[in-house]
Structure formats: C-alpha cells, structure tokens
Amino acid sequence: MSKVSAEQQQSDQIDEAKVVQYLQNNPEVLMAYPEIFSGLSIPHQTGAATSLVERQLKLLREENQSLKSKIEELVGIARENEELNQRFHRLSLELMNTDQLHDVLSMVQDQVQTFFYTDFVCFRFLPGVSDADNILKGLYLDSNSGIVDTVKPWIRARKPVCGRQDDKINRELFGSDVRIGSSAMIPLYHTRDLGLLCLASTSADRFGLTMGTIFLQQLGELVSSRLKNLLRVA
C-alpha cells in the first residue's frame, strides 16, 4: 500500500470515528432529520439469513419512494394545468379585444403552437363557410379529395380526435411538405359546423389516443365562439 493510500485510509478512519462519537453524544440527531434516517440501511443481525424486519423495512422504503415519485408527478401535472389555465385566460382577453378575422386566426395559431408545445397549427374550413374579405382563401378543405366526408363526423361529434392519421389525411390538412407523427383535430362549430383547428407534431407520442382532451375541447369552444360573428355559413 502506498503512503498516500495509507494516509487516506487513516484519515477516513479518523473521520468515521468522529461521526460515531458525535452520534453517541447526540442520539437525537437522526430523529431530528427523518429523511436521513429513512434512507439508512441497517441490517438486522440474524446470521446469513435476511430477517423479516429487514425485509419489511426494505419494502417500506420502496413503497415510500414510489409514493414520492407519484406525488412529484401529480404536482408537475397540477403546475402544467395551472399554466394552461393562465394562458387560456390571456388568450380569451386578447380575442375579446380583436375584431379582425385575420388577427384572430394569426393570434390563435401563434399562441396555441406555443402553449401546447406543438410543431404545426392550422385552420381548415368547410366549403360554404366564408368571410367578407375573402381571408379564408387557401384554408378550405378540398371538396374533391374526399377529406370533407372524413372530417365531418369528427366535427359533428364535437370532440377532439387525437392520434395518428394516414398520410393522405395529413397531406390534405397540413400539406405534403411536412412529416406528421401525431395530431389533434379540434372541431370548430356554433349553430353550424365551421371546420377544424388542426394541431400536429413530428413526434408520434405527442397526441396519443389516450391523452386528456378537456383543454383541447375548451380551446375549440373558445375559438368557435369568437369566430361565429366573423364568418358566414351558406
């Protein structure tokens, strides 16, 4: 053993002795810091076999860690929902103060892309929906492609449709020059069907079939309510 290693070992032994001495003089320390005590592994002296007490303590520690992870996950979800609520509130206020259709469409696209962390956002309107200034030009669903018949049941169901769509649907909604992994189609409607607010991601897992859609549905209702007086339906 080298001189340096021997000195290090001697130093470690001195430090260990100091810790032991401190704990002997201050036995209440561990009780004052339960998070340290709960993480200690203290074997029960029963020879080669693992005692029932030691096994129970190990299981309790594992359950405690599992509960801690779940609590942290729930806290994270709560914070994310609170953030979404705040952004919905800001979007609602801005929409109330916007009278131009072009500004409404641009504002929704920009903000939704930010607070839903998505790659693509676009509007697609049914044939027969129009506006005074022809701003919707280029945003209509192609009535000759069959896409209208595909999306009408989604709009009539009044619920967002999430998951993966086939390439033909993705091309009709988002264009042929983008790669779509998953998407969320949000119905736009009031007394009449208007179209869709389409969100998409390059990730196949971003908009899963089992994801919660409450915020997406509320977003559709909010945007639809603002569009109702800015559009005409034949």
Tokens of 153: 């049941």
Distances (CA, A) of 223 to 3, 54, 83, 218, 228: 76, 59, 19, 9, 9
**Average confidence (pLDDT) per 10 residues, the chain, 234 residues:** 56 71 75 62 55 75 85 82 81 89 94 88 96 93 94 96 95 92 96 96 90 89 93 88
Give residues with Cβ within 8 angstroms of 22, minimum separation 6: 29
Backbone angles phi, psi at 39, to 5 degrees: -90, -5
**Torsion angle of alpha carbons 103, 105, 109, 115, nearest 10°?**
70
**Residue 200, helix vs strand vs coil:** strand
What is the value of pTM for the model shown? 0.68
Determine the residue type at 206: R
Degrees to nearest 5, angle at CA 113 with 107 and 114: 95
Which pLDDT does position 37 carry in this prediction?
A: 57
Give residues with Cβ within 8 angstroms of 77, minimum separation 6: none
Q: Strands 182-189, 161-163: parallel, antiparallel or unpaired by DSSP?
A: antiparallel
Backbone angles phi, psi at 32, to 5 degrees: -75, -20
Which pLDDT does position 139 carry in this prediction?
A: 96
- For residues 194 and 149, the answer to whether their CB atoms sit within 8 Å is no
> b vs e for 102-132, b when ≥16 Cβ sit within 10 Å of the residue's Cβ?
eebbebbbebbeebbebbbbbbbbbeebbbe
- For residues 148 and 127, the answer to whether their CB atoms sit within 8 Å is yes
Closest by CA position to 159, among listed 231, 209, 93: 209
- For residues 172 and 194, the answer to whether their CB atoms sit within 8 Å is no
